Amino acid sequence: MENQVVGIAVVGAGYWGPNLVRNAQATPGLHLKYLCDLDVDRAERVLGEYSTVRATPSLDDVLADPEVQAVAIATPAATHLTVAMAALEAGKHVLVEKPLAANFTDGRKLVDAADSRGLTLMLDHTFCYTPAVQHLRSLVRGGEIGEVQFIDSVRINLGLVQPDVDVLWDLAPHDLSIFEAILPDHVVPVEVAAHGSDPIGAGQACVAHLTVRLSNDAISHVHVNWLSPTKIRTMVIGGSARTVVWDDLNPSQRLSVYDRGVDLGREQKIISYRSGDMVAPALPEREALRGVMAEFAASITEGRPPLTDGRAGLRVLAVLEAASESLANGGAFVPVQRVESRVS
């Protein structure tokens, strides 16, 4: 299919659907055919000027159209299995919002269905397509920071308290998907401990701390919070050679790379402190979702797995399920289910 344009339909015209519509229309490798939503009036309002795109309440009609090769799903997580499975069974490539499914078992069904049909299954892990995370990925996987020693991530703000999921399932997938994208293939989550609290009586954790032990004995830590009046989005990736600080709310200096750290002498075990320069890489400003759509189109036409494929989504689900079990058991460490790499 190389150099061909992929016909695509967006399913869901709620909060995220309009963003998918706009970026699908702006991606050269895609041709938006439908916006599908049970509320057709809402879908028509979203489409507005896109008069060549059809609004329809019928998913069956969309999936029966041979000109639709791919579907982008922006529906509630509880519906992901049903909608995505119907699309895969109809032979369509699928892009789905995070999380991949409501649980690991359902996510595995979708991955297996895509594999058995040779179809692309991709997660809309949008942060992984920001210039900052793309640069982080090259720094970490390219070895420029040395061996990863720790990761600390903070994602807090006065957020919308969700009625059906806790703060871990709402916010932590962003951080976990970033870890999945930037860490080397041999560094994977091994076990997880989670602690949370519900100080407002919402019925689920509104503040949570997640500790993930990695296979190289490093730990990564995630703090998520719906109740903070101050918005903070920072991540610190400490390496044996350099440390990188990502401040997503600082557009003039999103990344800072520090040549500073602690060294331990091999023979006498004498600790020394290294203090070098700080470099702030120049990064372009572009909409991450445009990168998501471009990667989706390219993975289909080139017949290759996308960066955030179904297995990446499954690995995030594995950590979330272990975190929920830990939360229910007083914060004890819980093993993370291993997800094998795709066999080419």
Domains identified in the chain, total number: 2
153 and 259 share a domain? yes
Angle at which helix 40-47 crosses helix 17-25, to 10 degrees, equals 40
Write down the pLDDT at residue 261: 72
Q: Mind listing the pLDDT tens digit for each residue in 10-61? A: 999 998 999 999 999 999 999 999 999 999 999 999 998 777 899 999 999 9
> For residues 24 and 73, what is the distance between their CA atoms, to the nearest angstrom?
12
Out of 70, 92, 119, a domain closes at: 119
Tell me, yes or no, whether 115 and 138 share the same domain: no
CB atoms within 10 A of CB 184: 13
Domain edge (last residue) among 98, 119, 140: 119
Picking from 62, 95, 119, the residue at the C-terminal end of a domain is 119
Tens of pLDDT, residue by residue over 208-256, are 999 999 999 999 999 999 999 999 999 999 999 999 999 999 999 999 9
Q: Is residue 112 part of a domain?
A: yes
232 and 211 belong to one structural domain: yes
Q: Do the domain assignments include residue 307?
A: no
CATH of the domain at 324: 3.30.360.10
Q: What is the pLDDT of residue 272?
A: 66
Cβ burial, residue 117 (10 Å; 0-12/13-18/19+): middle
Same domain as 211, residue 329: yes
CATH number at residue 25: 3.40.50.720
Tell me if 301 is assigned to some domain: no
pLDDT of residue 344: 44
Strands 93-97, 70-73: pairing kind? parallel
Q: Provide the residue range defining the domain that includes 97.
A: 6-119
Cα separation of 334 and 321, whole Å? Answer: 9
For 56-59, the CB contacts below 8 A with 24+ separation are 59/11, 59/83, 59/86
Residues 140, 276 within the same domain = yes
Q: What separation in angstroms does the CA of 303 have from each of 96, 121, 124, 194, 263?
A: 18, 12, 18, 38, 45
| Residue 74: C-alpha distances to residues 10, 195, 199, 255 (Å) | 7, 30, 31, 30
**One domain, residues 49 and 143:** no
Q: What is the pLDDT along the chain (344 residues), one digit of tens a residue?
A: 556 899 999 999 998 999 999 999 999 999 999 999 999 999 999 998 777 899 999 999 999 999 999 999 999 888 999 999 999 999 999 999 999 999 999 999 999 999 999 999 999 999 999 999 999 999 999 999 999 999 999 999 998 888 888 999 999 999 999 999 999 999 999 999 999 999 999 999 999 999 999 999 999 999 999 999 999 999 999 999 999 999 999 999 999 999 977 776 666 677 767 777 889 999 998 899 999 999 999 999 999 999 999 999 999 999 999 999 999 999 999 999 999 876 54
